Structure 1
Amino acid sequence: MFARRRLMTTFGLGAMLAACGRDGAERPPSPAETARWAEGLALPPDPAFEALLPASAGPDPFAPIGTALRALEGGAEGRALVLLLGDSHSAGPILAERLRELFQSRYGAIGPGRLPPARAQRFWNPSGLFIAQNGEWEARNALRSTSPGPFGLTGYRLTGARAGDTLTLRTTDPRGFDRISLTVATGPSSGSFRLLAAGTPDTAHATATPAPDLRQMRYLVSPGTREMALELVGDGPIDLLGWGIERRGRGVLVEAFGINGATLATLDNRDPSILARELAVAPPALVILEYGTNEATDRDLDADAYAAALTRRIRTLRAALPRSGIMLMGVPDAGRPTRPAPARRGQPARAPSGCGGVTPLVSLATVKAAQRRAVAETRVGFFDWSAEVTQDVCRLPGLAAGAQPLMQRDLVHFTAEGYRLTAERLHAAILRGAGLAGASPGA
C-alpha cells in the first residue's frame, strides 16, 4: 500500500531540463517548448547523454564509450548509456545486471533506466525490483511480424483499459529514484492514467492524439522515492511500450531488451519511427547486438543472406546513431545433449553421437562465419563469446556439471554464474577496446 502523500512531481521534460541545469545541462526551455514537452510528443535529445559523446563516432567502434567514460572519470557531468539488444540471453536480467554493476561501481550509479513494461515479459524477475500487475492487461511482443504492434525499443507492449487497474514498480535500492519515464503508443481512442508515487494519485494525464503517435513522458519525483504506480482512469486503452526509473546526476546506464526466441530479423518488427525517436532521446555510447543462437537452430540458414542482413542492420543503426559505437557479441557455443543409442539385443549400448555427449546446433558454424564476415565488412566491435567463455562445443557438458556449473543442462543457456562471468568478460573487453583496461573498484 502507498502512504497517503501527494505526488511531488513536475510533469514533462521542461522541468527536468531546468533541474538538470544544476548538473551542467543546457538552457531552460521556452514556455512553448515546455508546453510541447509536457505532452511527451516531441522530446529533444537529452543533453546529459549528448554531452559525453564525440561529434562523430569515427572508425573506432569503442571511441564513443571511451570518450564518455574518460569524461566521467575526469569529473564531467553527463550520462553514458550502454544498450543491449538480443535474444533470451539478454531477456534474462542477470547478464545486464552484472554489466551494470561493473560500470556503475566505477563511473557512477544512477539506477536501472528503462525497462520492459511491467510483466509483459514473462518470467522476468530482475534483482532489486518488485513489479506487479493488478487487473486485466494484455501483453504482446515483437517476436513475430504478425503480432499486433506497434513495438518500440523494448520489443514489448502492455495494454490495459479498465478503470482502477494498476501497474506497480518498487525498488529495494535505499537510494531510490527521482526520475520516472513512460513510453506510450497513442491514438484517437487512447485513455488517461494517474501516476502515483508514495501513495496519492496526481491529476489524470490524457494520452489521446489525433493520429497514431508516441508519447515519451518524463517526470521528476522526490529524491529517494522507492515506489510508483500507474493507475488507469478507464476512459480508453493505455498502450505502454516501456517504463523506467533512475536518479539524476552523472553516471552510466545499462539497458537490455531481449525476447526469448528472437533472431536478428525481429528487430524489423519494431516500428522504425518509434525506435528512431526513442534512440534520439537518449543516444547510447555503445549499442551491443546479441543474436545468433536461434539462427543457429535453422538447418536451412543461408550464410550469405544472414551475413548480408547483419551488415545491413549494422549500417542502419550506424546511420541512425552517428555518434554511437556498435559492438557485436559473437554467438556462444551451444548444442543438444546426446544420449547413448538404445542397445541392441546381445550388444553393448552405442556411444552418443557428437563430441563429449553434445551435438552442436546445426548451423552454429554458419552463424559464426557469417558474423565474422559482417564484422570485417562493417568494422564494428566484436566480443568473441566462444573464445571468452565456452571455448568449444565439446566442453559444454563439463560446463554444465560440477558444484557451480556455468551452463544449464540444455547446453544452450547459461546459469546465473555463467551469465555473470560473461558480463565480466564483456565488461573487460569493452574497457580494453576503449583503452581503459583495469578492474572496476569495488566490483
Structure 2
Amino acid sequence: MLNYDARGTARLAQKLRNSASELTHIVVIGDSHTAADFLSGQIRSQLQSQYGNGGAGFISPLAVRGNRYSNVRFSKASGWKAENSRRSQNSAFTLGGNIATPVLSNNRIRISLTDGERFSRIQALYRTRGNGRLSLQNQSVALADTQGEWRLSDPATVPASFSVSATGKEVQLGGFWLTAPQRKGVIVSALGINGAQISMADKWPADWAGVLRQLHPDLVILAYGTNESFDTDLSLDTYRQTLRRQIRKIAHSSPEATILLIGPGSSIKSRSGRDCAQRQSAVLEPIIGVQKEVAQSESVLFWNWFDFMGGACSIEQWARRGLARPDLIHLSAEGYQQSASGLWRALSGQLF
C-alpha cells in the first residue's frame, strides 16, 4: 500500500476502533469485480466479521442485469421502468447510474436482505417535481418536492424482506440506503457496472459527488483499470485527466473521507500470444503507472493489485491454482478472498 499523505486515515482508524458504537461507511465504485460484488463482497465479509454488521449499504433500486449483491436479493418488480448508465444516456443519472421510474399505479418492488439482520433502517434516494409518497412494507413515507434534485427520504424501519411502491408526479428512485438500526459496525456499499471505466462517472451528471456526500463515506475506493487496459483507443493523457478529475470531485464533496485507488489485477488480453508480452495488454502496466502518478499528485492511497498477484501474466498461475476463472480476467471466490485479505493487511498497515 502506497500512502501519498492521504487525508482522513487517522479518522478512519479511530472510527473502526469505535465500531461498537460508531458506523463506518466504505464505498467501492468500480467495474465488474464490484458489479458482481466479488472483491467488494469479500471486503465486506472480512470487515463485518471483525467490526460488526452496519447494514446492507447503498443498493440499486431494482435488479440490474449482470449485477449482484452478496447480501441482497431482488424479486421480480412490476410496474417499473429501469435505466442503467452502462447503455443509456440520461441527464438525471447520479451516483450508481440507476433510475427506476413507476409506469403503473399498481407498482411493486420486493427486496430481501440476506445478511442475518431482522430489521434495517431505510432511506430512498429519490427525485420528484411535486409531492409523492413511498410505501415501504405498508409504511407511508412522504416524498417532498425536490425540484428534480436527488435527496434521501425520511427514514423508516423495514424487516429483512420488504416491499416498495411509489405514487406521485414524476417520482423516480436512484437507490436505497440501508443501515443497521443501531447505527454501528461497518457498511461496504458496492457500486459497480460491468465493462465500466473510470469515465463512467461522467455519465452521472446529476451531482453524483453530492449524493455521495449524503451517504457520509469514510473510505471511498475506486477500483478501475481492467477495462481501460482492453481499450485499444485509450489515450493515457486523457485517462490521466479523467482519473484526476473524478478523485478531485470526491475529495471536494467528502473532504473527511479517505480515498483509495486500487489498480487492476493481472489479466490476459490475447491467449494466442507466444510470450507474456504478447498475451498481456500493452497498456496494462502503463495504466498502473498513471494511477500511481495521479495517486501521488492527489494525495490518496494506492494498492497495486497487479503486484500483489505476482506481476505480468501472473493470473495464468492463479488459474492453475484454482484462484482465477477461465476468462483470465476474473478470479474465483478463493482468489477474491485472498485479494481482499491482502488489501486489508495493506490498509491496516496504514491505519493501525
Calculate the TM-score normalised by the size of structure 1.
0.72
Asked if 1:98 corresponds to 2:34, the answer is no
- Please name the residue that 1:406 is paired with: 323
How far the C-alpha of 1:97 sits from its partner, in A, is 1.8
Asked if 1:131 corresponds to 2:64, the answer is no
Cα root mean square deviation, aligned: 2.6
1:215 equivalent among 135, 141, 151: 151
Tell me if the contact between 1:406 and 1:414 (Cα under 8 Å) persists in the aligned partners. yes
Distance (Å, rounded) in 2 between the aligned partners of 1:421 and 1:239 = 39
Tell me if the contact between 2:220 and 2:259 (Cα under 8 Å) persists in the aligned partners. yes
Asked if 1:70 corresponds to 2:14, the answer is yes
How far the C-alpha of 1:208 sits from its partner, in A, is 5.0
Distance (Å, rounded) in 2 between the aligned partners of 1:299 and 1:269 = 21
Tell me if the contact between 1:186 and 1:215 (Cα under 8 Å) persists in the aligned partners. no
**In the TM superposition, what whole-angstrom CA distance separates every residue of 1:196-232 from its partner, at most 9, and x where no partner exists?**
1xxxx234745555x322231132327xx21211124
- Please name the residue that 1:260 is paired with: 194
Distance (Å, rounded) in 1 between the aligned partners of 2:233 and 2:4 = 34
- Please name the residue that 1:228 is paired with: 162
Answer 1 or 2: higher relative contact order, Cα 8 Å, separation at least 6: 2
What are structure 1's unaligned runs of at least 5 residues? Answer: 1-57, 340-351, 437-443
Q: Secondary structure of the equivalent of 1:93?
A: coil
Tell me if the contact between 1:82 and 1:254 (Cα under 8 Å) persists in the aligned partners. yes
- Please name the residue that 1:353 is paired with: 274
Distance 1:149 1:177, change over 3 A: farther
Asked if 1:425 corresponds to 2:342, the answer is yes
- Please name the residue that 1:110 is paired with: 54
Aligned amino acid, residue 311 of structure 1: R
Distance (Å, rounded) in 2 between the aligned partners of 1:69 and 1:109 = 17
Q: Secondary structure of the equivalent of 1:374?
A: helix
Distance (Å, rounded) in 2 between the aligned partners of 1:276 and 1:355 = 39
- Please name the residue that 1:24 is paired with: none
Distance 1:409 1:370, change over 3 A: same
Distance (Å, rounded) in 2 between the aligned partners of 1:361 and 1:322 = 35
- Please name the residue that 2:240 is paired with: 307
Aligned amino acid, residue 131 of structure 1: F
1:294 equivalent among 222, 227, 230: 227
How far the C-alpha of 1:78 sits from its partner, in A, is 2.3
**In the TM superposition, what whole-angstrom CA distance separates every residue of 1:153-199 from its partner, at most 9, and x where no partner exists?**
222112222122211111234432230121112225x8543221xxx
How far the C-alpha of 1:255 sits from its partner, in A, is 0.9
Distance 1:216 1:297, change over 3 A: same
- Please name the residue that 1:154 is paired with: 96
- Highest CA radius of gyration, 1 or 2? 1
Distance 1:299 1:186, change over 3 A: same
1:364-383 matches, within 5 Å, as 364-383=284-303
Tell me if the contact between 1:117 and 1:242 (Cα under 8 Å) persists in the aligned partners. yes
Tell me if the contact between 2:24 and 2:186 (Cα under 8 Å) persists in the aligned partners. yes
Distance 1:71 1:315, change over 3 A: closer
Distance (Å, rounded) in 2 between the aligned partners of 1:59 and 1:293 = 23
What are structure 2's unaligned runs of at least 5 residues? Answer: none
Distance (Å, rounded) in 1 between the aligned partners of 2:105 and 2:20 = 45
**In the TM superposition, what whole-angstrom CA distance separates every residue of 1:412-440 from its partner, at most 9, and x where no partner exists?**
12222222222111111211111x2xxxx
Distance (Å, rounded) in 1 between the aligned partners of 2:342 and 2:106 = 45
Q: Secondary structure of the equivalent of 1:148?
A: coil
Tell me if the contact between 2:4 and 2:301 (Cα under 8 Å) persists in the aligned partners. no
1:125-204 matches, within 5 Å, as 125-143=68-86, 147-188=89-130, 192-196=133-137, 201-203=138-140
Tell me if the contact between 1:192 and 1:236 (Cα under 8 Å) persists in the aligned partners. no
**In the TM superposition, what whole-angstrom CA distance separates every residue of 1:259-281 from its partner, at most 9, and x where no partner exists?**
111111111111353x2432222
Asked if 1:387 corresponds to 2:307, the answer is yes
- Please name the residue that 1:271 is paired with: 205
Tell me if the contact between 2:141 and 2:156 (Cα under 8 Å) persists in the aligned partners. no
Q: In percent, how many aligned pairs have the same letter?
A: 27
**In the TM superposition, what whole-angstrom CA distance separates every residue of 1:67-119 from its partner, at most 9, and x where no partner exists?**
23334425773211111111111111122222112222222222211111221
Distance 1:207 1:331, change over 3 A: same
Report the number of matched residues. Answer: 349
